A and B are shown apart, each in its own frame.
Chain A
Amino acid sequence: MPLITSSKTQPVYDVVVVGSGAAGGQTAYTCAMSGAKVLMLEAGRNYDPVKETPMFQTNGQAPLRGGNTLDKPFGFYDATIDGGWAVPGEPYTSASADPAQKFWWWRARMLGGRTNHWGRISLRNGPYDFKPRRRDGLGLDWPMNYEDVAPYYDKVEMLIGVYGSAEGLENTPDSPPGVLQPAPAMRAGEQYARAKGKALGLPIVPIHRAVLSMKQDADKIPAKLHPNNPKAQRVLADAMRGRQACFWATPCGRGCSIKANYQSTTVHLPPALATGNLDIVPNAMAREVTTDAKGKATGVIYIDKSTGQEHRVTGRVIVLAASSAESVRIMLNSKSALHPNGLGNSSGKVGKYIMDTVGASLSGHIPALEGLPLHHEEGAGGAHTYVPWWLYKEQLAGKLGFARGYHIEFESGRRMPNGSTGAGLEYLTKGSYGRKFKEDARRYFGAQMGFAGRGEMIPNDDSFCEIDPIVKDKWGIPVLRFHWKWSEHETRQAAHMQKTFAELISAMGGSVRAKPEADGAKAIEPGGKIIHEVGGTIMGANAKNSVTNQWCQTWDVKNLFVTDGGPFCSNADKNPTLTIMALAWRSSDYLLDQLNKGNL
């Protein structure tokens, strides 16, 4: 992609966006398509999925059979560059030595950020999810309703391409007709689970993922997304014609060179660049937002990692989309006489109420899946099926002992072998080796199913981040220090997941590989491990107890916006990326309108 260097930036931009992932990509896209001049700063290197994706490489062609290492925590082919839970030279700290109170912070230093490798699961928050406190008295309500956001879910789904179906389930919104792409057929294991899970009352339905199951309609969608904007329509139509439908062969976590799935680098940035309205500077590590004597934001100071030099850029509007915790860090490091506690922090809430998703998993051996005739099971490079939360009524009646729900994700089928294939089978083989072992390996390949729960965490006072008073990164920028604590709502939910998975495996005639964990505090993944980090710059109805309004606009500085997951004031079980994009588009529309009216 044609990026620029620090010396080529314009004297002033309409909008300066920090970050290039789901939030930065969507913000820059919406602004540039509308004609605003946009500068994007990305802390990592340029990255081009068309040229760099290892689409068909097998694990046998990678060091260590592609397995996880400190350098590549999700494996060799994972589309994460210079990232993971530890980034060399860019530490963060934990306030407590207790592992249960540690927050794991995943970052990716590359154009497109975490959208290059994400799971592509794209679930809408439902009506309850925007008003959780009204429903059960816990947590925080959003200052808007599902109906306010729904049109933007429609737009994002049409732009990025999401497959799924309409099921009419409680708090699990259907998209309007014509918005979603067709859901792919369920795999054998998924169909078997659906049949056997009925007895447990589990609604096993097509999941929604940002993968093109067919080519997008480039003749119709652009006019729907950009009415009265012929240039934007033309640019988007060209970009859509350059995307191919999924060819059902390779894992999405590597990225996609044919642009069949959504990543910012293949979907948001190419059309935004094609307008001529977007400049991108890579290797630009933002340090602080500058302000004028009246307290308005004026620009961003960043370190150019390729030279170590400090640079200043100027914008009429500044948008932080750096990931929720990184945006907190920038705001808290932006101190001035008018903003002594950091920018946008008169409420003292910047850094407060950080959340992740509750995660627990269990796998089982399903004898019915042994020895099925060979057939293609890669599918769309991820799940086709899931179980949306199904116990709303029981939960509201107080029967479950925890307040919020979870959904279940599946893993099944004979997928590309990795370094763990054929491993850990002793509990089934009783220790076979030789020809018997080879027979066993064939027999059990694809006869395992994995179940992962992804649940809602309620924001709490003990989970927050702040600036570490001592530690700085290699660029001299003070780092974040995290505080973390799950409440019993989360740990009990994790124990419930384990019980449910074991029941489902049993209903399928299977056996669990490891005993289900009854102690939720042991079953739950550490904070941050699910990489659904949100909160920290929460939105709310007034300036006293929140950082932004419903438009992701900070209460204190009207030309400063935060469009990543930071403004989330709850974290429903629905994976946050789709909502981040919907809110970023909505905020950008508001921002452009205010800019045109001269209000910023």
Chain B
Amino acid sequence: MIENRPVSTAVSHLVLLAGVAIVLFPIWITIVAASHDVARLLEVPLPLGLGDQFFENLKQVVSTGVEGSTPIGIMLFNSLVMALMIAFGKITISLLSAYAIVYFDFRFRMLFFWMIFLTLMLPVEVRILPTYEVVAQLGMLDTYWGLTIPLIASATATFMFRQTFLSVPDELLEAARIDGAGPMQFFFDILIPVSRTSIAAMFVILFIYGWNQYLWPLLITTDKSMVTIVMSIKGMMEALEETPKWHHIMMTALLAMIPPVLVVIGMQKLFVKGLTETEK
């Protein structure tokens, strides 16, 4: 850096290491708890180091399933489908509508604009019962459509793509026009490629959003084959008249954490770039 002072660099590293240690402590404890048996987790003081039951717990959680008879593979699969459908669905409709709003002059443009943006922040928990009724009337209970489409009805992605498109230089469209490109050709050949970092960032955000849903899937699924992994954790914590089986809960929590963590870490460069570029 500017001055090469080993002391201040060391201090920086120390602060960072301490920060990382604090931030990751709960996750470390998750792994620890997942590696002990249930009796050990009720004895004070609780362990801070790994136990030897990790694979035993993993075997139990994977083979016997956690909530009733839904195998964990199915739950992970449902979560994955839900996360992917939400991510792709929302990105698709948002790219299209943002494109229309930014690049076309048409009647009711502002009306549509405000209609979409009013939905920006209102979480599904707040309008959950009327939304449930609509989904039920459309016969979408217990389907992946019902799980995902109502959650797609929010404007975060449209908002972000609008910002991205606004920062695309006008020359690109002029050049495309000179080359005789139509609107859809411009959209697919130029606009989408130049927005790919935003799309990647949005994918990460939406994948995590979809994966982490809890209340909505709980309400609209009755079929055991539709249970998602996050739902099952809450169910395990609330087993009536029992103390929670922390070793299984933590093992399941760990399994539920891995896919979104992999997505974030795997895509972190694009994610950061996409997010920060749009905001600048």
Do A and B come together as binding partners?
no
Q: Which residues of A contact B (CB under 8 A)?
A: none
B interface, CB within 8 angstroms of A: none
